[in-house]
Structure 1
């Protein structure tokens, strides 16, 4: 095999030929890629050029087609393929023989240690670690364990069939779960924009209404404020004229106008009345904002961990929800909870958007203050 390997080796790379194998007119064979390197080294870059054989130095003419015009040695390629197959077979046999050899003593393992359940050689039994162990011929142990192994395979096969049936059901459940999740996600995506647009529109409308109401009430109060400031302004003008007029003509001229203003002011039926307290109703806007929204869905379900005002809020909300509009008590308690009236501990302040906290978290003055506030609600 070694001699055949030398014959099937390229003179340039000294390795087995890499197809395609090219045959020169001097009968020497080369790998095509090696011959291309030879042409580069000899500055033969033209398809009509010539070069010298690296072995015998005979001049070879390319005849217009470069290395593609050289003869291909199909026989050498076939022999090379069979040679590689034989090498692979020999390598497999060597590996098989090595697997049957004892790594410790280098002998063929022809015994089976029944105590350790592993193949051993004769030296291992006579002088090695298995001197006191029971052994059997490796051929007998092989036949017995092969039959037992075939029976075990059948048991595993039955188990595998049952597992395959269960796997089909599991895969079906996975597909159904993924499908239902995809349908739910599609539904949520479909209504998300319309729902958010509705909420944004409601908030925008309420903000416009709030600004309009604020502007109207501010104008009314500003008019009353101007009327209330008129006597004071007239007094200051009259006093300034009396003390600082420059001449009698100027005094008489200004006196006439201020006198008329005084008579108009004093002749009024009544003093302007300050409007009754008319604040913007947070309750009203809150009712409009949460109309149609079940606020109980956003409350903690653990009623035993909520404060008393929160429990009263749930009861008042449920009663109002079934009877119609929110009661004043429910709205006031809910507004206090939403606006942060319920005191929070340091840890619970980290929870975003949660106005509730556990009674166990209150301590000291905060607990007493919270209890006193709860008793007043």
Structure 2
């Protein structure tokens, strides 16, 4: 039986979000229907609205979500009806060359639901990151559901579905931060703050937050930053070196996604250090570095895809760290809003006044 529910849709490039009736089919083989509890408003949703992801309009927005499984399709064994789950966009296939090499965190063929959700007139919707969570219930591949405990705040743990996981994973998984190391994070938005929290969780002892916004730098201390650099007032490379014995940081995480800040990250790391790019650049951006410097400084230059996470492994572990008081996911929730407030939350996101708005369904 098809369910008729309300969802947040954008019909064309830069058009406003509209609340529409969406038809959600019963789950087919390997699929699940999930009643959404909360969903964070992520920059990726804004990029969908702006046409920066693709032109497959109309989009059903939302993807950082916690929900409860209401129906499962044939062959689904990993979840049951009634499970509370965090949704993810890395439902590993188990068959691609990454999975075959034992690296499912890089799965190149992640699963989404086969069936389509539609508008009342039959127009097929493109769900954001294969999820589409600004809706009362959504259809996903069963592998996009990771079961989590009932006690944690849904609004907080749901943010692991994208931005917070991207930042924490950039530090722990991609950057492989070790106890006692020094870390610099350039860009203190939601992903950058999560990278700071990840570095602290991993045991880094010097954590340097870099941004142009004094308020963000002040907030960074809550997530574990031991030092701050306001890049409007101070040279980033010299500042990081001054705080690390003149050498540079063991790991520098670039959470902006611009050539200028990437160069800062490249030169602010120690010899044989690691640079991690987790900020998302735009298609027209290019980077120029002297090849001799790339060779002579050694180390590694990495890009972090979704924090190189494996949801089945990382989500439960991080929820447990949250429950133990070692990871303050609550602090990422700036406000709780209704589904009709998404457009206004995009404006607050552009202003940089929130880490995350969370839609409560």
Question: TM-score scaled to structure 2, two decimals?
Answer: 0.16
Q: TM-score, normalised by structure 1?
A: 0.15
Whichever structure has more helix as a proportion of its residues is 1
